[in-house]
Amino acid sequence: MPFISNTLEQQDQMLAEIGLTKQDLFADIPAGLLCKDFKLPPGLSEQRVRDSLAELAEKNSTHLTCFLGGGFYDHFTPAAVNSIVSRSEFYTAYTPYQPELSQGTLQAIYEYQSAVCRLTEMEVANASLYDGGTALYEAMMMAHRITGRNKIIIDDSVNPIYRMMIHSHTRNLRLEFEESQCKDGLADRGQILERIDDKTSAVILQNPNFFGCIDDFSDIATAAHDKGALLIVSCYPISLGILKTPGAMGADIATGEGQSLGLPLSFGGPYLGLMAARKQYVRKMPGRIVGETTDASGQRAYVLTLQAREQHIRRDKATSNICSNEALCALTALVYLSLLGKEGLKETSQLCADKASYAYRRLTAIPGVQPHFRGRWFFNEFVLDLPCEAVDVIAKLIERGFAAGVPLSRYYSRMENSILISVTEKRTKHEIEMLAEALESVL
């Protein structure tokens, strides 16, 4: 079923009208380069495909109660979000090159940029990047362009997946990375401040960090600025419902994974890379940017702007190679934030903290279960030390219906017994009780 509209008769008629035969159409490809036989299966009907994909969908578990986080979270999404973003005027359009026909997409991106600025308390934002990891990589490259310096300090409490992505993406560039080790769950000031020098392009931190601990990086921002370096903060947008913002801390660039803003987990994507910055850096920012202007009749209109930064104009001198972004995901985040609104986001954020705190108290009351970092403020994620290897405990809990958390031995040495547990507003007190009982039973 190739979704071709023209009948065979129409195809013949068209060929006749333009004086070509079917063979002529590919006569420009040397015969030796045409493939005689593709070993591909025959096409299937819609019914067959739906049946077989439904079967594959059922081979994946959706019955587990999710306490897995690590930067990717199981939040609640109002039904209206999907209803709106399923409008095909949005999802079957492309990059708004023709503004007169794309005011819907353009205004939505402008509103999204505004929402990201409001959320992060930064001055400018772009139209989105692929995901939180590539956004952090792009922020690092942006800082390198702004400062002309090569040294980057990145804390080991930044999501290890993002750190691996940054290293992979920059392997062939002359950049120098220094990794600082966090101390008792927080960025180690002594270590970081000592490393910042006049070769430093940026300090990269995350709040809440990968372990869920909350910090205020204002002092590090000041120290970085004193040496002409930038502060980049990767953040978790839901937490910004209540937590101190990158803008208030003095960050120069803020990034984040926007999946928590109404996007399903979808086995890893599509997600949404947030990026916001201070105004003076807007011309060094990667990606699409939408600006407000007026049309010939004086009414408000929106267009892609500052395109001279981009690859289709600047080619190898562009600020990034990025072309399309994640426009539909940005729209999703905007709709989500509009539905939750000022109070709803604050409440959701507070509920995450409340439930995580409750789970923390309940789980650390289990004999043999200890908090890994004592006396730390955390948002919706925390690290517990178990009396045995976390991978084993997690496997046993999966059998009891819980995706209980991330085993940290995967990313950190000497953390074999540590588990990172995340609790969103979607989890109920009852589910937390059940997890505690299950954990007790497997220890």
Site for other proteins in 286-305 (CB under 8 A): 288-297, 299-303, 305
Q: Which is nearer to other proteins, 75 or 372 (CB)?
A: 75
Tell me how far, at minimum, the Cβ of 181 lies from other proteins, in Å.
21
Task: Choose, by CB under 8 A, the member of 178, 190, 369, 392 that binds other proteins.
Answer: 392
Q: Which of 184, 194, 199, 312 binds other proteins (CB under 8 A)?
A: 312
Residues 399-428 that bind other proteins (CB under 8 A): 399, 403, 406-407, 410, 425, 428
Q: Find the distance separating the first CA and the last CA of the chain, reported in whole Å.
A: 54
Judged by CB under 8 A, the residue of 265, 366, 434, 443 near other proteins is: 265
- Residue 383 in contact with other proteins, rule: CB under 8 A: no
Q: Are 276 and 152 in contact (CB under 8 A)?
A: no
Using the rule CB under 8 A, is 437 a contact of other proteins?
no
Among 193, 220, 331, 439, binds other proteins (CB under 8 A): 331
State which of positions 136-165 bind other proteins (CB under 8 A).
141, 161-162, 164-165
Number of neighbours of residue 229 by Cβ within 10 angstroms: 28
Site for other proteins, residues 351 to 380, rule: CB under 8 A: 351, 353-358, 377, 379
Choose, by CB under 8 A, the member of 189, 270, 409, 412 that binds other proteins.
270
Residue 84: in which H helix or E strand, if any?
helix 79-85
Q: Smaller CB distance to other proteins: residue 291 or 368?
A: 291
Of the candidate residues 87, 176, 194, 226, the single one contacting other proteins (CB under 8 A): 87
Q: If DSSP codes are grouped into helix, strand and coil, which group holds residue 336?
A: helix
Indicate which single residue of 155, 252, 310, 381 sits in contact with other proteins (rule: CB under 8 A).
310
Site for other proteins in 167-226 (CB under 8 A): 167-169, 171-173, 214-216
Single-letter code of the amino acid located at 325: N
Neighbouring-strand partners of residue 371: 384
Per rule CB under 8 A, is residue 228 in the interface with other proteins? no
Instruction: Find the farthest-apart pair of alpha carbons in the chain and give their distance in angstroms, rounded.
Output: 84
Per-residue interface string for the shown chain with other proteins, residues 57-76, x marking contact by CB under 8 A: xxxxxx-x-x-x-xxx-x--
Q: Report DSSP letters for 136-181, one per residue.
A: HHHHHHHHHHHH---EEEEETTS-HHHHHHHHHHTTTS--EEEEEP
Measured CA to CA, the distance from residue 254 to residue 247 in angstroms comes to 8
Residue type, 171: R
Residue 213: count other Cβ atoms within 10 Å of its Cβ.
24
Which of 366, 391, 434, 443 is the binder for other proteins (CB under 8 A)?
391
Give the shortest CB-430-to-other proteins separation in angstroms: 8
Q: Judging by DSSP bridges, how do beta strands 200-207 and 176-180 pair with one another?
A: unpaired
**346 in contact with other proteins (CB under 8 A):** yes
46 lies in the binding site for other proteins (CB under 8 A) = yes
CB of 384 to other proteins, least distance (A): 16
- 388 forms part of the interface with other proteins (CB under 8 A): no
Angle at which helices 429-442 and 390-399 cross, to 10°: 120
| Length of the chain, in residues | 443
Distance (Å, whole) CA 292 – CA 299: 10
- Residue 149 · residue 200 · CB < 8 Å: yes
Among the listed residues 110, 85, 93, 92, the one whose alpha carbon sits nearest the alpha carbon of residue 303: 110
- Contact residue for other proteins among 130, 236, 373, 382 (CB under 8 A): 130
